[in-house]
Amino acid sequence: MVVDTRLKQSVTMLSNRVGFWQGAAECVLERCSSVQLRDGSVVPLNASFREKIMASVEKLACQGLRVLACAFKTDLGTLSNYTGPKHPAHQSLVASENYSAIESELTFVGLAGLQVQSFHPVSWHKLVLLYTPTKA
């Protein structure tokens, strides 16, 4: 997993040649060009979807939740057979100047609302809601 606090997101390269992004909704959403619906179909991410997604982000945030967006990408180019830090393309994954190329054309899959419990010396998070769009 690679975490970039400036971009407010992290990416995990999965063994089935998929990159999975999670992070601040506005940061992840701006890198998405499509959305996966609940039935599994993938459609273009148009202005109507963006408005509905951001309205859901606001609704969750107003409930006191920390909102994360989730997205994935299957066309990873030289990273498609990524196996870890020893992979020849690893440097392209950790070099921030390559992020825009790697983190484009993502597919949005949903929102997670996290409830942060801070009454304990070590804060913990509880996933309380997952939102996935159904249609524009």
pLDDT score recorded for residue 124: 47
Closest by CA to 112, choosing from 45, 63, 39, is 63
Please give the residue that has the higher pLDDT: either 126 or 18: 18
Per-residue pLDDT, averaged over 20-26, amounts to 87
Please give the residue that has the higher pLDDT: either 130 or 78: 78
pLDDT score recorded for residue 83: 72
Partners of 116 in beta bridges: 125
Which residues are within 8 A (CB) of 75 and not within 5 positions of it... i.e. 6 or more apart? 105
Measured CA to CA, the distance from residue 55 to residue 90 in angstroms comes to 36
Contact 35, 42 (CB under 8 A): yes
* Domains of the chain, first to last: 2-131 (3.40.1110.10)
pLDDT band at 33 (very low <50, low <70, confident <90, very high): very high
Mean pLDDT over each residue of the chain, to the nearest integer:
76
Tell me the per-residue pLDDT of 79-125, one tens digit each, with 9 for 90 and over: 767 677 787 777 776 777 767 777 788 999 999 888 776 555 444 44
Partners of 20 in beta bridges: 12, 72
pLDDT reading at 126 higher than 60: no
According to DSSP, the β-strands at 32-36 and 106-117 are parallel
Read off the tokens for 84: 């870890």
pLDDT reading at 2 higher than 60: no
pLDDT score recorded for residue 135: 66
pTM of the model: 0.72
